[in-house]
Structure 1
């Protein structure tokens, strides 16, 4: 690029930059729940020039004066999304999102969208970032002030004092997470640290002393040089994995990253970077809650080896913790039929016959020994860069869900919550029967497979009974019933369809062992009859059914995750409904 083009870039946006800046880029979910809120945060030192600072004098309980405190009142963009079913559930922790240097809460959008299905979420733009006010005081950019800002946001959004918190942090946000966790004490139940730093990058470390007196125009020159090249500029390349280049998904991610880079407030970035320091070995060692560390193979900002280094720094409570059984809640188990588990407790094998005992069901899952501990292993994502939370949102979401349900609080599991709510009502109440009737009975044959997906049958039903299925779908040779309950039909009334009972727990993604046994069962069926057409059903035939079928397509038929999900959706619209089932597929088959 010529000197003229470089000079021009200082004053004129390119066509691509103009297009990206036409709107701020807030996703609809963020727009709906965003507010600019006035948050007062204590300053370490007073500033006589600030029009937003106020000084107040407080007293102790014995009326003796204490040191005046200086408050800086800021207009911060805060997103607060309450769990839409929270009022029907036991008290739940909330999730606090902390972004990194030059970032904004929009970078968490995909994860926030996932989390809101089972948790209350709070996210905010740090001072001078995103849509939040950029204060003039240098002290407003210190790590201590940013930590107090996070605590002040929590205090302003929590409905009751003492609310328990799970921290989700990215990059520099991980440094704040350790400080916030220490301030919260036992209220902090867990930390998810994505691409955490262990030190300051050498280039930035060399620049830090100069940022205190560097003119803004000089820093702007460096920024303009860094963003030359648009979607392939150094400012974008260092954040995104090169393995995704050329794909449609990469184009979208790169446009987002370039927009975020263009929206950075130069002065705020300089002041924040000036005070930036990494959490030390001692800082991490003081964390006493479970910690999930996620790195990215192609991260050019925070090397993937950081997660293993930090894992070695963590104290014993953060590295491993008591196991929480990710099973249906006690209320849901108690609501099962009295004979649930009887036959399956006697054998581990699925029941296969044309006249199987209809009362067979899977055993109730019992919790593991309360004293059993399991280490929390750090994860490094393949083909992902520093913005892996945007590049691989399904995988990251799945990892977060697994971690929270297993190590933090099983109640923060969509499966647990759905089971809890389901336990409060009869599956065959009028409401649920009407819902069942509105669901398509049997799907088309899934392209490239031997599968049809179904909803459960009902004996003597005019539209979907054993006799009707055999009459309307003569190609079906076998039915695998994966529901846990005694089926509401008599399998012995099938005349040519072979019935197989393969009980699994509802609302929870099938375990790896269950998937292996399901695949073995299908293999046996096809070995017996290579032309078999296999119907699989749970209650409605979307989530567990779709999960098993997608697993078979991936493991046996060579489908990609996306191709398997699409094939199932094309045959049985709208496909797998529960996001945590989809996330689990990505966790199992992409990592």
Structure 2
């Protein structure tokens, strides 16, 4: 079944099973990666690894695995990534953190379930593009950045961001990969992702206008990021069809 995007306000989208009891273990190799990278030049995108709720990083049983200076949770995301307007979560689990934390702070949140170690299907790619296009074209998000993460913020994240830069922004595969890796500080590790991106070099779609929102953190002029009223972010769950059959739920 194709991966789905959805929000989390009670219940589960069609075809989604009730999650199992939460596992409090730290993801494998999570400590090997930096928390987040620089904003990718010419885009509003910041790639990061998944932030972990305190019960995972501060558990007595595993405290020796996560030194205090290596912990990275949702609060750190807000404190360290300035002008954050949205979080796009690609992980295939709900155990890492409660998205309500971001939404309570007026940050948009979208969950797009994306399995690792496989090339995402067409519906997943369309949903990712729709979210990125919507964010970039929203006047209310001008000057804001969108944080995209999988588990490590490198492979699934890198593939989809690079594919967006190739097929929406008109970059070559080589340029897109170089930009992503330079900003993230880590190389895309899985050959199947790099090989597939390279095959897209001559198959692009209509480019979107270049992002001109300016640099919003880590150097450059800081542009204020207007946040929607909290009441609007916490209102009834919305639904939208993204050009195909699956229904995507988001806040």
1:526, CA displacement in angstroms?
Answer: 2.2
Cα distance per residue 1:557-584 (max 9 Å; x no partner): 2211000000011011332110011111
Residue 522, structure 1, aligned to residue 116, structure 2? no
> d(CA) in 2 for partners of 1:570 and 1:358?
39
SS at the partner of 1:477?
Answer: strand
Within a 5 Å distance, the mapping from 1:270-419 to structure 2 comes to 350-351=5-6, 356-357=8-9
> d(CA) in 2 for partners of 1:573 and 1:361?
35
Task: Report what 1:534 is aligned to.
Answer: 146
Task: Report what 1:444 is aligned to.
Answer: 38
Task: Report what 1:575 is aligned to.
Answer: 187
> d(CA) in 2 for partners of 1:492 and 1:520?
22
Cα distance per residue 1:4-50 (max 9 Å; x no partner): xxxxxxxxxxxxxxxxxxxxxxxxxxxxxxxxxxxxxxxxxxxxxxx
Unpaired runs of 5+ residues, structure 1, are 1-326, 328-340, 365-425
TM-score by length of 2: 0.63
Report if aligned partners of 1:361, 1:484 keep a CA contact under 8 Å in 2. no
Within a 5 Å distance, the mapping from 1:456-475 to structure 2 comes to 456-460=50-54, 461=57, 463-475=71-83
1:477, CA displacement in angstroms?
Answer: 1.1
- Return closer, same or farther for 1:361/1:570 CA change in 2, 3 Å cut-off: farther
SS at the partner of 1:457?
Answer: coil
Report if aligned partners of 1:543, 1:581 keep a CA contact under 8 Å in 2. yes
1:427, CA displacement in angstroms?
Answer: 8.5
CA RMSD of aligned residues (A): 2.8
- Return closer, same or farther for 1:427/1:543 CA change in 2, 3 Å cut-off: farther
Task: Report what 2:112 is aligned to.
Answer: 502
1:527, CA displacement in angstroms?
Answer: 2.4
Report if aligned partners of 1:453, 1:541 keep a CA contact under 8 Å in 2. yes
Cα distance per residue 1:326-369 (max 9 Å; x no partner): x9xxxxxxxxxxxxx9xx8xxx6x335xxx348868957xxxxx
| Greater than 6 Å deviation, 4+ residue runs | none
- Return closer, same or farther for 1:557/1:358 CA change in 2, 3 Å cut-off: farther
Cα distance per residue 1:104-124 (max 9 Å; x no partner): xxxxxxxxxxxxxxxxxxxxx
Report if aligned partners of 1:457, 1:465 keep a CA contact under 8 Å in 2. yes
> d(CA) in 1 for partners of 2:11 and 2:178?
35
Q: Which has the larger radius of gyration?
A: 1
> d(CA) in 2 for partners of 1:512 and 1:551?
12
Within a 5 Å distance, the mapping from 1:528-567 to structure 2 comes to 528=138, 529-567=141-179
- Return closer, same or farther for 1:359/1:458 CA change in 2, 3 Å cut-off: farther
Task: Report what 1:304 is aligned to.
Answer: none
> d(CA) in 2 for partners of 1:546 and 1:585?
10
> d(CA) in 2 for partners of 1:464 and 1:454?
10
Task: Report what 2:202 is aligned to.
Answer: 590
- Return closer, same or farther for 1:534/1:507 CA change in 2, 3 Å cut-off: same
Unpaired runs of 5+ residues, structure 2, are 17-21, 58-67, 204-251
TM-score by length of 1: 0.28
> d(CA) in 2 for partners of 1:488 and 1:358?
17
SS at the partner of 2:137?
Answer: helix
- Return closer, same or farther for 1:574/1:467 CA change in 2, 3 Å cut-off: closer
Report if aligned partners of 1:360, 1:486 keep a CA contact under 8 Å in 2. no
- Return closer, same or farther for 1:530/1:464 CA change in 2, 3 Å cut-off: same
> d(CA) in 1 for partners of 2:23 and 2:192?
21
- Return closer, same or farther for 1:543/1:550 CA change in 2, 3 Å cut-off: same
- More helix per residue: 1
Residue 485, structure 1, aligned to residue 97, structure 2? no
Cα distance per residue 1:238-277 (max 9 Å; x no partner): xxxxxxxxxxxxxxxxxxxxxxxxxxxxxxxxxxxxxxxx
Ranked by relative contact order (alpha carbons within 8 Å, sequence separation 6 or more), the top structure is: 2
> d(CA) in 1 for partners of 2:14 and 2:33?
25
Cα distance per residue 1:121-179 (max 9 Å; x no partner): xxxxxxxxxxxxxxxxxxxxxxxxxxxxxxxxxxxxxxxxxxxxxxxxxxxxxxxxxxx
Aligned residues: 180
Cα distance per residue 1:369-393 (max 9 Å; x no partner): xxxxxxxxxxxxxxxxxxxxxxxxx
